[in-house]
Amino acid sequence: MSNNNKYVLEVKDLTKSFGDNHVIKGISLHLGKGESYVIIGGSGSGKSVLLKCILGIISPTSGQVILHGTNMVGLPPKEREKLMIKCGILFQSGALFDSLTVLENITFGLIYGYGWSKKDAKEVAIEKLHDVNLKDEVLNKYPSELSGGMQKRVALARAIATSPDIIFFDEPTTGLDPITSGIINELIVKCTHEIGISALSITHDINSLKHISDRVGLLFGGKLIWEGTNQNLWTSDNPYVQQFITGSLDGPFTT
């Protein structure tokens, strides 16, 4: 257990192997309060596995994930659940429960995780729905009745409903048109800069990266090969960074 409160999240020497396939090779990073850290990298670089290890969806082979001073790796499920309640997650697909309405989706964590009454949870759900620029009319609709962008916004409303300290974004703008992407990016910035929530995101979207990141880490071959601020990224002469942000076919990234 660590008592270092400087960071809300610290990842130390994290590794993950599937048999002989070493996907994550000793990654360390940290996230300060109200900071937005974005992990970028090509397909197959290990971004999703890293995020799943941090979230405890898959167990890392070694290393530590320290959330609010407590190492989550190897923690009993109940204690982990208590800590995770301080986290919100926006999944790539939205991952809305398709058998539940928008209202039930947003209130789910509040009722089943926090034990709130339905009435109180509904009030919060409506407030969060307005935060993500959606109207009350969608409350009783099912996810299949909403557009992709609306589903993503509902998923974001669900992620922030429990007033988390940290939100994890998995490809938040994937599959969205530029305008809806812009709305999602604005909402992420609002979460971090106005509300003070810390954010750890993984993305391919350069435009999104430009808007939402305070610091950036570039993942390649399971290692964090470059780390710096948003400003550093655009002036970096690192060939990996250069190729990634320009989308050039020539460079160390191979397809």
Partner 1 sequence: MGFITFLEKTGNLFINFLKATGSIFMFIFKSILTGITPPYYWKQILLQTIQIGYFSLPVVGLTAIFTGMAMTLQCYSGFSNFTAEGAIPSVVMIAMTRELGPVLASLMVAGRLGASMTAEIGTMKVTEQIDALSALSVNPLKYLVFPRIITGTLLVPFLVLIDDILGIFGGYLVGVYYLGFNSANYIHNTFVSMETWDILSGLIKGAAFGFVICSMGCYQGFSSKGGAQGVGRATTNSVVASSIIILLLDGILTFVLF
* Contacts to partner 1 by CB under 8 A: 52, 55-57, 77, 81-82, 84-85, 87-89, 91-93, 95-98, 108-109, 112-113, 115, 158, 162
Q: How far apart are CA 94 and CA 170, in angstroms?
A: 9
Q: Which is nearer to partner 1, 11 or 96 (CB)?
A: 96
Q: Which is nearer to partner 1, 109 or 222 (CB)?
A: 109
Q: Closest separation between CB of residue 204 and partner 1, Å?
A: 17
Q: Report helix angle 148-161 to 118-131, nearest 10.
A: 130
- Please tell me whether residue 151 adopts helix, strand or coil conformation: helix
Q: Closest separation between CB of residue 72 and partner 1, Å?
A: 12
Q: Is the dihedral of CA 35, 62, 48, 96 positive or negative?
A: negative
Q: Which is nearer to partner 1, 89 or 150 (CB)?
A: 89
- Please tell me whether residue 131 adopts helix, strand or coil conformation: helix
Q: Which is nearer to partner 1, 35 or 170 (CB)?
A: 170
Q: Which is nearer to partner 1, 77 or 247 (CB)?
A: 77
Q: Closest separation between CB of residue 84 and partner 1, Å?
A: 5
Q: Exposure pattern of 171-206 as b/e (b: 16+ CB <10 Å)?
A: bbbeebeeebbebbbebbeebbeeeebbbbbbbebe
Q: Closest separation between CB of residue 98 and partner 1, Å?
A: 7
CB 200 within 8 A of CB 169: yes
Q: How far apart are CA 176 and CA 151, in angstroms?
A: 11
Q: Closest separation between CB of residue 96 and partner 1, Å?
A: 8
